[in-house]
Chain A
């Protein structure tokens, strides 16, 4: 693949770039994209034991004379952070505590790790941009009306613990910390908030569509638009967030252009991957059930954890509209993979996964 057209960046192609979580879901695509953009000095931080084959393949195929260094380390170690961040001009902090159910573990693997990395960057003093990956789940959708626009100006959750979701809590606190370091130490940061990132490597159905925890799939999304972003498109937005001039301190929501409704997605999924029984729960009913669960959880002093609650309902299942206008205008980003093509790739990957299960 030939290098992409050069973009107006805050750095030179040989300046060192650090990518944490390089072995994760989005990380390898960011590495690949940076190589395609012509950046030649990449340091990829991976957990000990993580599979680096994909990164090595990209380095061989498109790296040319690029230097792709794979560093093994743990972001909980300040020493590892100091080594990894040494001389880095741009840091893509993609490492995340995905799927962690315990609040302390999620917090430790998101917030403490981010603090260690920020301290290391501050110590070295070479940083020009710190890109942190957040999530749509940090927005509070409580006060928005049904169908209102959810964009970067919307308020974030002020009491994230009440959501009952360790990931949301950790991501909210991570965003707070990055903002605080920006104010206190002048760390130049950009926060990228993707919607639901899907693609080969993440074959699950987002909870925004529904949940299968109770033996049968409860379809909760209905006619809601689902804020999908294909992993390659998301990776490109992340890359640009680290390179573009004049966007320090900004937040960018990332969603693709043609977003299907929950019902449309479910129909496509059943047609292209596998058929299964699902029951549609109308919004009023799901709100009532979440409210009931929340009240029971409070009354029973946590006998049932507050996994379902009104705040969570508003964030996940209240109808909203999404926009990628800011990312397009300020980052110059466009989703290169169309939704039709992206879903085709995703469904193919889902079928393969089921066949190998």
Chain B
């Protein structure tokens, strides 16, 4: 029986506690939050015995085998190291760390201690994402991907409570992340691309800006519209889109190989195969839509079936990732997310944020030059 602990008792900790309790062969023995009341409410609702407000005390007294870190990202590196020092395997919520340097350091530290670590890229393990991975492994795409498109959007409207909290609080922890709002959200969408890249240092071109909606709310610091091009030595390419304003707010991944393509739609939980070869003459127009309709119908039936088998939880991906991670601990096998993928995701994110910072500095410099060139302007 694996003994599990959770550090950080905010919103996402609820999902962790609920999914861990669905996994066989483990028990949540303790939770910890600097704010004792928060720890208490989680303990009460999930009937957990160990309630702590100090991490070291919890690690010493509860002696967990695995620790889930669900605190704001600024503390991930330090807390994960502390847990590793106490001999615990660690599941770190996304974003894994603040930057690649921390990510590499953490993974090397875990390896040196012969302990396992994983990142909370749970969307990668939703049912359709797993099917897509299986198909790609079986060679459905052909030799490998040629191009990918990843959409990972987030609705951030004037009425969104998240937007209100973030915009009202200039000291909000999300603002203090190197990549701001983007840093807290995009890792799921970037990880999807990273999984299929073959080199460790792809070229990244990024363009970002605050949406007109945010600007109308007086916000010009937070970037909530992002477009990225990722390229590997003029070989595999990818586009990444994050938008808070486009509708529908997509969570989609499209991957095209030399033979065929696949479209994964997380919102509808569908996976659609795109044939690489065309049918003859008008059959392409007559049969292909029917084939697509059949695929969507099959996806729908599959989803209903999973629901009836109580296997269609909103956080099914998280449960699968937790189970796989715990299995890798018990079996001493490879963790479910390769360390290379975690580091590459982090590296791409670093590059994006670095590009955005440079662009902003250049933009400010241009504005400042223009102001100087026009006497009388502020």
Give residues in A with beta carbon < 8 Å to B: 47-50, 74, 99-100, 102-105, 107-108, 111-112, 115, 161, 169, 173, 299-303
- Please state if A303 and B18 are interface contacts (CB–CB under 8 Å): no
- Please state if A102 and B44 are interface contacts (CB–CB under 8 Å): no
Listed by A's residue number, 26 A-B pairs whose Cβ atoms lie within 8 Å are A47-B168, A48-B168, A74-B169, A104-B9, A104-B10, A104-B38, A104-B41, A105-B10, A107-B37, A107-B38, A107-B41, A108-B35, A108-B38, A111-B37, A111-B41, A112-B35, A112-B37, A169-B41, A299-B310, A300-B310, A300-B313, A301-B21, A301-B313, A302-B313, A303-B307, A303-B310
Q: How many Å from the CB of B126 to the closest CB on chain A?
A: 14
Q: Which chain A residues border B41 with CB–CB below 8 Å?
A: 103-104, 107, 111, 169, 173
Contact with A along B1-19 (1 / 0, CB 8 A): 0000000011101100010
Q: Is the CB of B138 closer than 8 A to any CB of chain A? A: no
Within 8 A of A (CB), among B46-62: none
Contact with A along B287-329 (1 / 0, CB 8 A): 0000000000000000000010010110000000000000000
Q: How many Å from the CB of A106 to the closest CB on chain B?
A: 10
Q: Which chain A residues border B10 with CB–CB below 8 Å?
A: 104-105, 108
Q: What are the 9 tightest A-B residue pairs by CB atom distance, in nearest-first order?
A: A300-B310, A49-B168, A161-B45, A102-B11, A107-B41, A48-B168, A104-B11, A104-B10, A303-B313
Beyond the given pairs A50-B168, A104-B42, A173-B41, 6 more chain A to chain B contacts, judged by CB atoms under 8 angstroms and listed by A's residue number, are A103-B14, A103-B41, A104-B14, A108-B10, A301-B22, A303-B312
Interface residue count on the B side (C-beta < 8 Å): 25
Complex CA gap A349/B11 in Å reads 35
Complex CA gap A111/B44 in Å reads 14
- Please state if B11 and A105 are interface contacts (CB–CB under 8 Å): yes
The listed residue with most B CB atoms (<10 A of its CB), out of A74, A173, A302, is A302
Complex CA gap A27/B37 in Å reads 26
Q: Is the CB of B167 closer than 8 A to any CB of chain A? A: yes
Q: How many Å from the CB of A117 to the closest CB on chain B?
A: 13
Query: How many A-B pairs with Cβ below 8 Å?
Result: 57
* Interface of chain B, main secondary structure: helix
B21: nearest chain-A partner, CB-CB = A301
* Known A112-B37, A115-B37; contact A302-B14, beta-carbon cutoff 8 A: no
Q: Which chain B residues border A301 with CB–CB below 8 Å?
A: 21-22, 310, 313
Choose one: B45, B161, B307; the contact of A100 (CB below 8 Å): B161
Choose one: B18, B37, B167, B169; the contact of A302 (CB below 8 Å): B18
Choose one: B9, B21, B45, B170; the contact of A48 (CB below 8 Å): B170
Q: Which chain B residues border A299 with CB–CB below 8 Å?
A: 310
Q: Which chain A residues border B42 with CB–CB below 8 Å?
A: 104
Within 8 A of A (CB), among B199-249: none
Q: How many Å from the CB of A110 to the closest CB on chain B?
A: 10
Complex CA gap A281/B312 in Å reads 29
Complex CA gap A319/B18 in Å reads 34
Q: Which chain B residues border A74 with CB–CB below 8 Å?
A: 169
A111: nearest chain-B partner, CB-CB = B37
Q: How many Å from the CB of A171 to the closest CB on chain B?
A: 13
- Please state if A49 and B167 are interface contacts (CB–CB under 8 Å): yes
A99: nearest chain-B partner, CB-CB = B161
Q: Which chain A residues border B14 with CB–CB below 8 Å?
A: 102-104
Q: Which chain B residues border A111 with CB–CB below 8 Å?
A: 37, 41
Complex CA gap A299/B313 in Å reads 12
Complex CA gap A299/B308 in Å reads 11
Complex CA gap A74/B161 in Å reads 15
Q: Which chain B residues border A50 with CB–CB below 8 Å?
A: 168
Complex CA gap A99/B170 in Å reads 23
Complex CA gap A50/B165 in Å reads 11
Q: Which chain B residues border A105 with CB–CB below 8 Å?
A: 10-11, 161
- Please state if B13 and A104 are interface contacts (CB–CB under 8 Å): yes
Complex CA gap A305/B120 in Å reads 22
Complex CA gap A99/B9 in Å reads 20
B316: nearest chain-A partner, CB-CB = A303
Complex CA gap A103/B9 in Å reads 10
Q: How many Å from the CB of A67 to the closest CB on chain B?
A: 25
- Please state if B45 and A103 are interface contacts (CB–CB under 8 Å): yes
Complex CA gap A302/B315 in Å reads 10
Complex CA gap A299/B312 in Å reads 13
Q: How many Å from the CB of B173 to the closest CB on chain A?
A: 12
Complex CA gap A100/B35 in Å reads 20
Q: Which chain A residues border B313 with CB–CB below 8 Å?
A: 300-303
- Please state if A161 and B168 are interface contacts (CB–CB under 8 Å): no
